[in-house]
Amino acid sequence: MKIEKSGYDVWGRSRTNGTKILVPPYLENAFKDMMNETGISIKVLRRNIKSVVDRSRKARRQNTRRFIGTSKNSFDFDRFLRYEEIINFIHNLVRHSKYAEIINIGNSFEGRPIIGLKIEGSKNIPKIFIDAGIHAREWAAPITALYLMKMMVDHEDTLHEKISIYVIPVVNPDGYEYSHTVDRFWRKTRSRIDGTECVGTDANRNFNSHWAEFGASPDPCSDIFPGLEAFSEPETQAIRDTILAIEPDLYLTFHSYGPMLLYPWGFTKSLPSNWQELDKLAKIAAHKLKQLNGQDYTIGSSANVLYLASGASDDWAMQVAKVPLVYTMELPDYGEGFITPIEKIKPMVRETYKAFKVFVKYVCALRHINCS
Ligand code: 0X9
Ligand code: ZN
C-alpha cells in the first residue's frame, strides 16, 4: 500500500534513522496490522501529537507582543510569526536600513505577495540567494530566514558593495497561513485543480528537473503530489524567475527537519561534478553549527543521505539554472519534528547564522573579496 495516499503522514524518512509516520487515531490498529504483516518493527514515539501542537499554540499566544511599528529590534525571536507579521517585520527592517530593499517576486495561488529582502551591490560582486518556507509546516525555516535578514541589515555597512544577498522567507505563504489556522501539518501549496477535492502541490516536487520521476505521487491527495506539470505553481514560477534573473553563486534553501546539510542530487545517487567542493564547504559550515550548541549535521547528497526525490528546487537550481553551489538545509529536530519549541528558536537561528557566514566568506573568497 502507498503510505502517502492513505491518511498517514510521512514526516521524516531517512536511511539511517527509520521513518517517522503520523498515524491518525482511527488508523492505529490498521497500521499496526499492516506493519506486523510486513515484518517492519515500529516504536510509538508519541501518543498524542495534538497535545504538543496545543502547547506550542499556547506558548505563541503568551509571547505575542506588539512589535509592529516599533524599532527593528523589538521582535526577539521568541515565537513564530504569522505571514502579515513577517511582512511588517521586513518593512521595519527596510525602514531602519540604508541599503536593504523589499523584493516582491510574485503572488501565491491565493494572491498573497511573495516578498523578501535584498541588499544588492554592483554587478560583479558575489550573490547569494536564500529561500525558506517552500513547505508550509516547516516553521523553523522562515524564522531562520528572518534572523539572517536582521543580521544582514545589522551588518550592512560591512556587506554593502562586497556581496549581494537576496532572501525570500516564505515561498509558500498560502500553505504557511493554512498551517497556522487550520492544519498544523500542512506541507503543500493551496492550489486547486479540476476534478479533485484535494488541494495543493508539493512545491518541492514541482521544479523542472526530472519532474515527477522520483519521490512523487500522481495522486493529488498525496503530500508529495508534484502538480499536473512542472512549474504549475505561481510560487515555484516566482522562485524560478528570480533565480534565473539573479544568477546567484550560491543558493541556500531552508527546510526542516534534520539536522542535515544536503547538496544535489536528489534525482540520482550519482554526485555532481563539484561534489568535493560542496562537501568540503558543508563540513566547514557544519563545524560552526556544532560549535555553538552541539548540533550534529549530517552532510551528503540528498539521494544518498535522505531519499531519492526529484523536481526539487535545489536540483533545478544546479542542473538548469547552473548555480554552482546549492544546499538544502534541513534545520534541526528538537524531538517534536516540525514543532520547534520556541525556546529553541534563538539557539537554532544563531548557529545557522554562523554557518551562513561561512558561506558568505567562501563565495567572497572565490572572487578575492574579504567579506568577514
Ligand atoms: O523531501 C523534500 O522535499 C526535502 N525534505 S523535507 O522533509 N523538508 O520535505 C528534501 C529535499 C532534498 N532535495 C532533493 N531531494 N532534491
Ligand atoms: Zn521541506
Q: Where are the domains of the chain?
A: 3-45, 67-366
**pLDDT value at position 360?**
98
Nearest CA to ligand 1 atom 2: 204
The one-letter amino acid code at 286 reads A
**pLDDT value at position 140?**
98
Q: What is the mean pLDDT of residues 160-179?
A: 98
Tell me which CATH homologous superfamily contains domain 67-366: Zn peptidases (3.40.630.10)
User: Among residues of the chain, what percentage have pLDDT more than 70?
Assistant: 93
What is the whole-number distance in angstroms between the Cα of residue 225 and the centre of ligand 2? 14
Q: Please report which ligand is nearest the Cα atom of 330.
A: 1
Measured in whole angstroms, the distance separating CA 345 from the mean position of its chain's CA atoms is 15
* 8-state DSSP, 332: P
What is the whole-number distance in angstroms between the Cα of residue 173 and the centre of ligand 2? 14
**pLDDT value at position 63?**
66
| 101 tagged catalytic | no
Task: Output the average pLDDT for the chain.
Answer: 92
Protein residues with C-beta less than 5 angstroms from the ion ligand 2: 135, 138, 255
Q: In sequence order, what E strands does 120-204 have?
A: 127-132, 164-168
Sign of CA dihedral 118, 290, 305, 176: negative
Q: Which residues contact 147 (CB under 8 A, 6 or more apart)?
A: 77, 349, 350, 352, 353
121, 98 in Cβ contact below 8 A? no
User: Among residues of the chain, what percentage have pLDDT more than 90?
Assistant: 80
Q: Which among 135, 202, 299, 327 is the best mutation to test ligand 1's pocket, defined by most ligand atoms within 8 Å of the CB?
A: 135
CA dihedral (196, 197, 202, 207) in degrees, to 10, reads 30
pLDDT at position 28 over 50: yes
Chain segment 109-141, per-residue pLDDT in tens:
999 999 999 999 999 999 999 999 999 999 999
Number of neighbours of residue 62 by Cβ within 10 angstroms = 11
H/E/C letters for each residue in 39-91? CCCCCCCCCCHHHHHHHHHHHHHHCCCCCCCCCCCCCCCCCCCCHHHHHHHHH
